[in-house]
Amino acid sequence: MEQPSADGEEGLNTAIYAELRQRLVTGRMAPGHELSTRGIAAELGVSQTPVRDALSRLAAEGAVSIRSKRRVRVPPMTPERFEDLLRCRLLLEPEAATLALPHLDDAHIARLREIDAALDRAIANGDTDAYMQSNHDFHFTLYRAQSRRTLVQLIETLWLQFGPFMRVVHGRVSGAHLNDSHQAAIRAIEARDANALRAAISADITDGMGLIGRNGLAADRAATP
**DSSP states of 154-202:** HHHHHHHHHHHHHHHHHTTS-GGG----HHHHHHHHHHT-HHHHHHHHH
> What is the number of other CB atoms lying within 10 angstroms of the CB of residue 68?
9
User: What is the Cα Rg of the chain in Å?
Assistant: 19
Q: Give rounded-to-5 percent helix, strand, coil for the chain.
A: 75, 5, 20
Say whether pLDDT at 177 is over 70.
no
For residues 125 and 172, the answer to whether their CB atoms sit within 8 Å is no
d(CA 58, CA 65): 8
**Which domains, from first to last, does the chain contain?**
6-73 (1.10.10.10), 79-223 (1.20.120.530)
Residue 179 has what pLDDT?
A: 53
Say whether pLDDT at 6 is over 80.
no
C-alpha triplet 129, 131, 135: angle, nearest 5°: 125
Least confident of 149-153, 176-180, 220-224: 220-224
**Model confidence, pTM:** 0.83
Among candidate residues 182, 179, 187, 225, the one with its CA nearest the CA of residue 206: 179
C-alpha triplet 218, 222, 225: angle, nearest 5°: 145
* Number of residues that this document lists for the chain: 225
Least confident of 11-25, 36-50, 106-120, 204-218: 204-218
> What is the number of other CB atoms lying within 10 angstroms of the CB of residue 90?
15
